[in-house]
Chains A and B, each alone.
Chain A
Amino acid sequence: MGRQILLEHINVPGINTFDVYRKHGGYASVEKALKTMTPDEVTEEVKKSGLRGRGGAGFPAGMKWSFLDRKSEKPRYLVCNADESEPGTFKDRYLMEKIPHVLIEGMITSSYALGAKTSYIYVRGEYMYIIRILEQAIEEAYAKGFLGKNILGTDYSLDLYVQPGGGAYICGEETALLESLEGKRGNPRLKPPFPAVAGLYASPTVVNNVETIATVCAIVNMGGDEYAKIGIGKSTGTKLISASGHINKPGVYEIELGLPVEEFIYSDQYCGGIWKGRKMKAVVAGGSSVPILPTELILKTAKGEPRLMSYESLSDGGFVSGTMLGSGGFIVMDETACIVRNLWTFTRFYHHESCGQCSPCREGTGWMEKVLHRLEHGHGHEGDIDLLVDVAKKIEGNTICPLGDAAAWPVASAIRHFREEFEYHVRYPEKVKNPKHFELEPFVPAAAAMATV
């Protein structure tokens, strides 16, 4: 196992309670920050650490914090985005369920750095049991004087609230989250103005992912420079990866960024290889929105270098031959998986979750879903594949929020890398009517078939 920062004490019994957590060095960052550092110094450490947002976009967290409008006389807010709804991603759930205090600690330290007097954790409605865990943890923190008025005898006060959402995927988009938090319909806002200037209640707001905020504790404890040494290049630190799909050991793993993808999939420390001794077909590396890659491109970049688990290496080659680290939802598919069926499932999700505000996404996601449904159930025809590419192209970049892009990228990439499989569906409609068609008769690409002849 590589270096563990967030999950170091995950297996300690009772780590979800304040006392055990405190005994294992918990809340040290709050003490250090509030008693020995100024808010700007904390921000500076986070900047130095090179920490990048763990929610999906990978925007440097320190930079995001520095955009916060500090001259405004309005109150400032920190909002934690715990609306983890990306298919394939379940790392925040694990973290909040097992060690809720690391998030509370991170929230206090980060709120201090940003000068927020009130902070919110926005949790998706489906995580109701986690909301109870968090509220329990917050209660304990209040009782021990880590939240409330004059924390640890300093003149800094903070109130922390947990807000359940209604369970819409779109509320994970930061401006839709803020709308929902304000009690309105969760529609994304038009940007600019950005939340750093006018966010929650039109006040300067920072929205960060659970993992980002939890990592701030470690950064303050060990110092930004020290944290920056972990990882590779501009991808510093560790990252939680939610591994799922056709692997021997699915679960949440903390990896040091820069770990080779091959090692991650095949090493017994991590995923433990493909199940049932089968071959790997494709990997969705960062949650359902990122482009899917076939085996040869996920293990090695187009240039032939081994691909690493880092922001840069995974996106090497752009969208032509690369993908994104995204939120770390690592979905592996073996040779019996049907790419078309998988894509249909993804598209069905985006169709269901589109907020309906802007026309390309509202109409386009539904259209793509219907065409894919047709293809997968053996009613497709030749023109459908190009139609899908065209529809995806017309959605991408033309919508208010990134949900349109998220819906378009998987379609464009699946057809780019697995076009033959789509053609197979058009050519053999009778065969694909059985949902398990590739389990009965694995798909063989033309090139591989030629090689065996």
Chain B
Amino acid sequence: MAKVTIDGIEVEVADGTTILNAARQIGGEVVPPAMCYYSSLKDTGGKCRVCLVKVTQGSAKDPRPMPKLVASCRTPVMDGMVVQNITSPEVLEARKGVVEFLLLNHPLDCPVCDQAGECDLQNLSYEHGVGKTRYEEDRRTFEKIDIGDKIKLHMTRCILCYRCTFVADQLTQERVHGVLNRGDASEISTYIEKAVDNDFSGNMIDVCPVGALTDKTFRFKSRVWFTKPLDAHRDCDKCCGKVVLWTKGDDVLRVSARKDQYNEVKEYICNECRYDHKDMKDWTIEGPRHIDRHSVISQNHYEKIDMQKLKLDIDRQLTFQKGKQLPETTNP
């Protein structure tokens, strides 16, 4: 076990845990955002650089600070490590920079993007971005292409998190798509159009943090906040069969896997569940899906307040505010 202090809050975690996961055990504001890390996919992370944090004390044994900001999603904790996330102005400044970089070539076509309302990049830029861009040149653009018969790739929106390539590597037998080219010309692609065809390819849509990979059966059907999400399940011999149905009246507009509070899927679903059962009768409905109160999707979805959870939230806030007042470390 290792004891680590993040923004003044101490937590004890198993050896080998990353800083990001340690922060997630604390929860709340101290959790660094993540655009490319995905807990249920191996080796993801380290690429987007939004989760950068400052390590002011390496470990109890070696208290020297780390010279650069480190990617919290890939840096394991050490016993006695002291980490600054949102209490460090340097980290916030760097994060602001990264958000600006991510938005540089992003088309910001949110009004016509199907991901709007459930987009990680939208959330991130609301929190850390600035209102105005300093970029004056043309943005890079790509043609929209079909990869597989059910998935539309809108490469212009892609932030190159590489998550979808990890899905293809780890969930399916053969990877038929990858990253072509280099630098800001690099793109996710298949050499042969519509080549992506396997039982779990649909999960690429769920892991995509932006609207680069969208479900062709749902494209332009409805804004996601006009739909009513329901937890449902069915017996499936290929996957767990636990899904969220995005419904309007009696129509099932979309089926997706269940995402946790960090927008990450823990149990993947197969393409049959995703595309072929768009009928309420095929599913056992469990009840309305819990949607985070801050999300635009939660509009008009009233939920009873869980008093215990609220108290926990307040307690954590209080500890955090105390942590903020800790004296600045001597090593800037």
Chain B binds chain A:
yes
Q: Which residues of A contact B (CB under 8 A)?
A: 168, 170, 185, 190, 351-360, 362-367, 370, 374, 387, 393-395, 397-400
Number of A-B contacts (CB under 8 A): 92
Task: Name the distance in Å between B85's Cβ and chain A's nearest Cβ.
Answer: 15
Contact of A359 among B48, B93, B136, B137 (CB under 8 A): B48
Q: Give the interface size bracket for B toward A.
A: 35 or more
Taking CB atoms, residues of chain A closer than 8 Å to B136 are 374
Task: Name the distance in Å between B108's Cβ and chain A's nearest Cβ.
Answer: 14
Contact in complex: B183, A190 (CB < 8 Å): no
Contact in complex: A190, B104 (CB < 8 Å): no
Task: Name the distance in Å between A86's Cβ and chain B's nearest Cβ.
Answer: 17
Task: Name the distance in Å between B233's Cβ and chain A's nearest Cβ.
Answer: 37
Taking CB atoms, residues of chain B closer than 8 Å to A351 are 183-184
List the A residue with the shortest CB-CB distance to B48: A359
Contact in complex: B181, A190 (CB < 8 Å): no
Task: Name the distance in Å between B297's Cβ and chain A's nearest Cβ.
Answer: 27
- Give the complex CA separation of A398 and B67 in angstroms: 11
Contact in complex: A353, B182 (CB < 8 Å): yes
Taking CB atoms, residues of chain B closer than 8 Å to A357 are 47, 160, 162
Interface string of B47-65 (1 = CB under 8 A from A): 1111010000000000000
Contact in complex: A359, B98 (CB < 8 Å): yes
If A356-B181, A387-B134, A397-B69 touch, whether A363 touches B104 (CB-CB below 8 Å) is yes
- Give the complex CA separation of A428 and B257 in angstroms: 59
B74 in contact (CB, < 8 A): yes
Contact of A398 among B49, B74, B179 (CB under 8 A): B49
Interface string of B108-146 (1 = CB under 8 A from A): 000000000000000000000000001111000000000
Contact in complex: A359, B182 (CB < 8 Å): no
Taking CB atoms, residues of chain A closer than 8 Å to B323 are none
- Give the complex CA separation of A394 and B186 in angstroms: 21
Contact in complex: A400, B186 (CB < 8 Å): no
Contact in complex: A394, B97 (CB < 8 Å): yes
Contact in complex: A359, B183 (CB < 8 Å): no
Contact in complex: B182, A356 (CB < 8 Å): yes
Contact in complex: A399, B179 (CB < 8 Å): no
Taking CB atoms, residues of chain A closer than 8 Å to B156 are none
- Give the complex CA separation of A170 and B181 in angstroms: 13
Interface centre among A170, A360, A364, A370 (most CB of B within 10 A): A360
Taking CB atoms, residues of chain A closer than 8 Å to B52 are 398
Contact in complex: A359, B101 (CB < 8 Å): yes
Contact in complex: B98, A366 (CB < 8 Å): no
B17 in contact (CB, < 8 A): no
Contact of A399 among B49, B100, B178, B184 (CB under 8 A): B49
Taking CB atoms, residues of chain B closer than 8 Å to A359 are 47-50, 98, 101-102, 159-160
- Give the complex CA separation of A190 and B181 in angstroms: 20
Beyond A352-B183, A397-B69, 18 additional pairs, beta carbon < 8 A: A190-B45, A351-B183, A353-B182, A355-B182, A356-B181, A356-B184, A359-B47, A360-B49, A362-B160, A365-B184, A367-B137, A387-B134, A394-B97, A394-B98, A395-B97, A398-B52, A398-B69, A400-B46
Interface centre among A170, A359, A394, A395 (most CB of B within 10 A): A359
Taking CB atoms, residues of chain B closer than 8 Å to A170 are 182
- Give the complex CA separation of A47 and B332 in angstroms: 34
Taking CB atoms, residues of chain B closer than 8 Å to A366 are 104, 183-184
Taking CB atoms, residues of chain A closer than 8 Å to B307 are none
Contact in complex: B182, A363 (CB < 8 Å): no
If A356-B160, A359-B159, A363-B101 touch, whether A400 touches B183 (CB-CB below 8 Å) is no
B71 in contact (CB, < 8 A): yes
- Give the complex CA separation of A364 and B50 in angstroms: 14
- Give the complex CA separation of A359 and B159 in angstroms: 8
Contact in complex: A398, B48 (CB < 8 Å): no
B309 in contact (CB, < 8 A): no
**Across the A-B interface, the 9 shortest Cβ-Cβ residue pairs:** A394-B97, A356-B186, A363-B101, A354-B183, A190-B46, A363-B104, A370-B137, A356-B183, A366-B184
Contact in complex: A353, B49 (CB < 8 Å): no
Kindly identify, within residues 61 to 105 of chain B, every residue whose CB is under 8 Å from any CB belonging to chain A.
68-69, 71, 74, 93-94, 97-98, 100-102, 104-105
